[in-house]
Amino acid sequence: MHEPVNIPEFKSAPLVPGTLYLVATPIGNMEDITLRAIRTLRDCDLVAAEDTRHTGMLLKRLDLAKRQVSTHKFNEARRSGEIVELLQGGGTVALVSDAGSPGISDPGQRVVASVIEAGCRVETVPGACALVAALTASGLPTDEFHFCGFLPVKSGQRTKRLAKLLELPGTLAIYESPHRVVKLLGELVEQAPDRPVVLGRELTKKFEQIQRGLPAELLAEYSERKPKGEFVVLIGQVE
């Protein structure tokens, strides 16, 4: 059983009425929660969470009891109206995803757009992000990179999308599930065999792993073992 996180005392400005706060949460390591994120979650009127059960565990560890509403990709449009109504009445809402920054390959973008359109205020509470964690540790160039989220699931769409993305300059960043990362490596063997690839797995967690190599080399790594954990796949340019 986890002990609640000890929240230090600090002085800061109160939350601004009528504001939607985009609160980044840890992607694995609880120590990555920021003091500002804790304060925002503590003081807001409502937490709009991708999964209330998941966020409930985070709040419990922070020793916070907050009212939550589920805000995920299936109800984001409807929930946006409810959030706008609360903000227009002077309330404050903290929007969180299960991990990382809301809106980055997670629900949130439609809520933000609706809030802005309604003339309400949006404020970011930055923190952990798998993309940035992997990119900065990769050793690949960071002066220009293109983040593309998840590739399509269907093979035909996926092949066309990847081919188009590989035409872009700089470092290419893709999120991939453990169920399809081997498929992606196989596609890279076919389409970009000489490009350097970095796999970031289980970032910030106990079994964090950064793997570097050519697509065929990394594909061979998983010939006899099943991939585990969410992946950030970074694809460099041929030098």
Q: Break the chain into its structural domains and give their ranges.
A: 19-125, 130-235
Fold that domain 19-125 belongs to in CATH: Cobalt-precorrin-4 Transmethylase; domain 1 (3.40.1010)
pLDDT of residue 106: 86
**Amino acid symbol at 126:** P
Q: How far is CA 223 from the centre of its chain?
A: 28
CATH class of 130-235: alpha beta
pLDDT of residue 38: 96
Q: Where are the alpha helices (DSSP H) in 130-204?
A: 130-138, 155-165, 181-191
Query: Within a 13 Å sphere around the CA of 160, how many CA atoms are in the beta-carbon half?
Result: 4
Is residue 206 within 8 A of residue 139, CB to CB? The reply is: no
pLDDT of residue 3: 67
pLDDT of residue 77: 86
Please provide the size of the chain in residues: 239
Segment-wise mean pLDDT, segments of 10 residues, the chain, 239 residues: 64 90 96 96 97 96 96 90 97 96 91 97 96 97 96 93 97 96 96 98 94 97 89 95
How many CB atoms are located within 10 Å of the residue 36 CB?
Answer: 16
Structure tokens at 62: 């922070």
